[in-house]
Structure 1
Amino acid sequence: MSSIGTTAPAARAPLIGRRVLVIEDEYFIADDITRELASLGAEVIGPLGEIEEAQRVLSACTVIDAALLDINIRSSMIFPLARELKARNVPFVFTTGYEKASLSPEFQDVPVFEKPLDLPAMSRSLVGMILQGGAA
């Protein structure tokens, strides 16, 4: 039997069984991110567009495999939630309109994807982080 034209399920949907938190306040970007992650098999938590709501969800969720965080949510910075994710050893990436140089030193190791987003590159980064099992 030939394997030409077939792809292993894990390669088609590498995030099956993985929960990814999405915090993004721009509707169309949030929708694009959610569709991209769902196409990879992820269970998307969110998208959430308010810091307070995101904090409640983060406090209630015991299992989060990765997160995607917009740095600026309705004029509030996401850094307190990012610190909590780091403390929980949850890998994450930032999305932003800002340059990476504007991040404080504690977040210099976190991948940053500038808007407009390169969704495939962002997804590859998240998949790699999840599969390596490491936090940002």
Structure 2
Amino acid sequence: MTPIERKLRIFVVEDEALVAMLMEDILLDLGHEVSAIASRLHQACEIAQAGAFDLAILDVNLDGKPSYPIAKTLRERGIPFAFATGYGGMGLEQPFTDVPTLAKPYVSEDVQRLIMGLMPSIP
């Protein structure tokens, strides 16, 4: 694995506790910081509006509700983000078809590649 260029603060949105813990472990192992974890849409929207983080990884489906309102807020704030999904990027709705996706189940190398791909858009 390539070493990180700098430690990033990452917001994780995931409704499955075990998957969220796995993501947190992977991010910490990669040398990053998890700034917040949200499992419900309302909570995630609040953090997306006011939270301090460098990028976000969003589960597409939060307890049966799409995470697009969170994505919209992040896009408006200019914060890079990616979707995590077991359905593949082909199932994303407009205007989010261009957003990078992380296919579930994922491993550390997948997460690192995703982050490295998002880094050029991080100020």
Range of TM-score over shorter length: 0.7 to 0.9
- Tell me which residue corresponds to 1:88: 77
Aligned length: 122
Q: 2:3 aligned with 1:12, yes or no?
A: yes
Q: Aligned partners of 2:60, 2:5: CA distance in 1, in Å?
A: 26
Q: 2:41 aligned with 1:51, yes or no?
A: yes
| Correspondence list, 1:1-136, <5 A | 11-16=2-7, 18-61=8-51, 63-130=52-119, 132-133=120-121
TM-score, normalised with respect to structure 2: 0.86
TM-score, normalised with respect to structure 1: 0.79
- Please provide the CA RMSD for this pair: 1.9
State the Cα deviation string for residues 27-54 of structure 1 (Å, max 9, x = none).
1111111011112222202321111111
Q: 1:12: how far off?
A: 3.4
User: Equivalent pairs: percent with the same residue?
Assistant: 30
Please, which runs of 5 or more residues in structure 1 have no aligned partner?
Answer: 1-10
Q: Aligned partners of 1:37, 1:12: CA distance in 2, in Å?
A: 13
Poorly superposed stretches of 4+, deviation over 4 Å? none
Amino acid at match of 2:108: L
Q: Aligned partners of 1:15, 1:41: CA distance in 2, in Å?
A: 8
Q: 1:98: how far off?
A: 1.6
Secondary structure in 1 matching 2:95: helix
